[in-house]
Amino acid sequence: MEARIQELAVDLARIKRHVQSLENENDRLKEELARLSGNSPDGYPQGTEGSGAQGMDNLINLYDRGFHICNIYFGGVRSGECLFCAAFLQKGREVETS
């Protein structure tokens, strides 16, 4: 019984470390997104220099750097193409041309 409790404690410590690394990555991605979108990390605009076209350019830049820009996996690292991201990019191009 004691051995099992020790195993569970080791597993719990491993899970806590993993959660902490995910939280750190989430914070880093939020800061990166805020920097690219012209917002502060708390979500408030930093100025009025941003526009819709600039926002789309920032999303394209994020996509090109290997991150998801779709609402399903936003901010996650891409491994290959994503149909949701591609559909979002296509819709953005349609809005820009109209």
| Residue ranges of domains in the chain | 1-48, 51-98
The tokens describing 48, both together, are 């009025």
Cα dihedral sign, 25-27-33-36:
negative
d(CA 18, CA 12): 10
pLDDT greater at residue 58 or residue 23: 23
d(CA 5, CA 38): 49
d(CA 58, CA 64): 10
* pLDDT reported for residue 19: 93
> What is the pLDDT confidence band of residue 96, given thresholds at 50, 70 and 90?
low
Residue pLDDT, tens place only, 34-92: 888 766 555 545 554 555 677 788 888 888 888 888 888 888 888 888 888 888 888 87
pTM of the model: 0.45
d(CA 66, CA 85): 11
* pLDDT reported for residue 6: 95
pLDDT at 94 over 80: no
Q: What is the DSSP string of 4-19?
A: HHHHHHHHHHHHHHHH
